[in-house]
């Protein structure tokens, strides 16, 4: 799709998808890549990022800015990026507050969101042979290993902030692997979320530079895999999502956002939670799980409806 033709016809919708991605990326345990995938823009996003290269730079000098803008799918990237940035800047404090004050409710919503994403991707995957099953198992194992990994303590040096940006952005564009959760595991989440809330430009610039380098390299690898081995790569991504479900299970002892480090993860049923920790808020939590499911179904239906209209 050249020059984001579909995006031009639906700029408000694309901006909204960017905001949803930004909101997800703020939360430890939820991936903006998941939102991109279920909203139907994942492949285009990877291809657009991959398109920013030396060839595009040569087009800029040989054919002019207009041709360069079309070459890199500039409208798509600008509108989506604006949505992500607006969401991160406006929702960072709100999401941090909700995670600290209403953890059961917000994690229930995201559990429904991720569960529905798994259902959506499994239904969309039509090839389940040995390579795909092995990739599914590998993805789930990697995500589970990350979910139950012990936390690290990394000093917030300039090199560490730059490296955290590279690592987090790779996770953020993978459905099921949360960049924010990776930051939490290495002890950098409080540093970055505080920098966003306080607009600490020095820290944000270092983090952004690392993210740009990581994104430029990793998006090319992922795009190549999707184009060459699509079914197996999608199975791997589904495995990531499956393995990430324990991260967003609301009734657990790991208070992911209540402190600077995740605790020892112990999953519980609502009854066990009530005995050990208090009110499990079962009915509102189940209701918000249903809302998360409905959000994904709505995105899927909206994407299908728009695709039918274009034909």
Please tell me the pTM assigned to this model.
0.71
For residue 264, pLDDT over 90 is answered with no
Q: pLDDT, tens digit, for every residue of 37-87? A: 777 788 888 888 888 878 888 888 888 888 888 888 889 999 998 998 888
Give the pLDDT confidence score for residue 50 in this predicted structure.
Answer: 82
**Which tens digits make up the pLDDT trace of 186-213?**
778 778 878 877 788 888 899 999 988 8
**pLDDT computed for residue 3 by the predictor:** 45
Instruction: Provide the pLDDT for residue 209.
Output: 92
| Residue at token pair 């540093």 | 191
Average pLDDT over residues 155-183: 80
Q: Does residue 13 carry a pLDDT above 60?
A: yes
Residue 286 pLDDT class (50, 70, 90 cuts): very high
Q: Where are the domains of the chain?
A: 2-310
Mean pLDDT of 26-47: 78
Kindly indicate the confidence band of residue 7, based on its pLDDT and cuts at 50, 70 and 90. very low
Q: Has residue 273 got a pLDDT over 80?
A: yes
pLDDT given for residue 17 in this prediction: 87
Cβ atoms 114, 241 nearer than 8 A: yes
Contacting residues for 113 by C-beta, under 8 A, at least 6 apart: 30, 34, 292, 293, 295, 296
- How far, CA to CA in Å, does 204 sit from each of 24, 168, 219, 285? 18, 13, 21, 34
Q: Which residue has the higher pLDDT, 232 or 300?
A: 232
DSSP string, the chain: -GGGHHHHHTHHHHHHHHHHHHHHHHSTT--HHHHHHHTT-HHHHHHHHHT-SHHHHHHHHHH-HHHHHHHTTHHHHHHHHHHHHHHHHHHHHHHHHHHHH-HHHHHHHHHHHHHHHHHHHHHH----SHHHHHHHHHHHHHHHHHHTPPP------HHHHHHHHHHHHHHHTSTT--HHHHHHHTT-HHHHHHHHHHT-HHHHHHHHHHHHHHHHHHHHHHHHHHHHSHHHHHHHHHHHHHHHHHHH-SSBS--TTTSSS-----B--HHHHHHHTS---HHHHHHHHHHHHHHHHHHHHHHHHHHHHH-
Rounded mean pLDDT, 122-148:
86
């Amino acid at each position: 799709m050249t020059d984001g033709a579909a995006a031009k016809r639906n700029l408000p919708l694309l901006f909204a998808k960017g905001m949803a991605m930004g909101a997800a990326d703020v939360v430890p345990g939820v991936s903006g890549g998941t939102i991109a995938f279920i909203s139907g823009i994942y492949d285009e996003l990877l291809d657009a990022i991959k398109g920013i290269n030396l060839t595009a730079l040569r087009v800029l000098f040989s054919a002019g800015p207009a041709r360069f803008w079309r070459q890199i799918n500039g409208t798509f990237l600008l509108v989506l990026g604006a949505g992500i940035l607006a969401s991160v800047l406006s929702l960072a404090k709100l999401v941090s507050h909700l995670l600290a004050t209403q953890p059961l409710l917000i994690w229930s919503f995201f559990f429904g969101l991720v569960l529905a994403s798994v259902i959506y991707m499994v239904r969309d995957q039509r090839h389940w042979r040995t390579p795909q099953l092995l990739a599914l198992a590998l993805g789930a194992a990697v995500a589970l290993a990350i979910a139950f990994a012990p936390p690290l303590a990394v000093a917030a040096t300039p090199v560490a902030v730059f490296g955290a940006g590279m690592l987090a952005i790779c996770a953020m564009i993978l459905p099921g692997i949360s960049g924010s959760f990776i930051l939490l595991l290495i002890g950098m989440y409080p540093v970055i979320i505080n920098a966003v809330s306080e607009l600490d430009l020095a820290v944000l610039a270092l983090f952004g530079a690392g993210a740009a380098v990581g994104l430029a390299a990793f998006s090319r690898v992922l795009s190549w895999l999707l184009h060459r081995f699509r079914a197996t790569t999608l199975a791997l991504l589904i495995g990531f999502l499956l393995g990430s479900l324990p991260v967003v299970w609301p009734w657990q002892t790991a208070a992911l956002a209540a402190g600077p480090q995740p605790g020892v993860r112990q999953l519980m049923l609502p009854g066990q939670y009530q005995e050990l920790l208090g009110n499990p808020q079962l009915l509102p939590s189940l209701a918000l799980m249903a809302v998360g499911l409905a959000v994904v179904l709505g995105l899927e239906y909206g994407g299908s409806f728009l695709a039918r209209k274009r034909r």
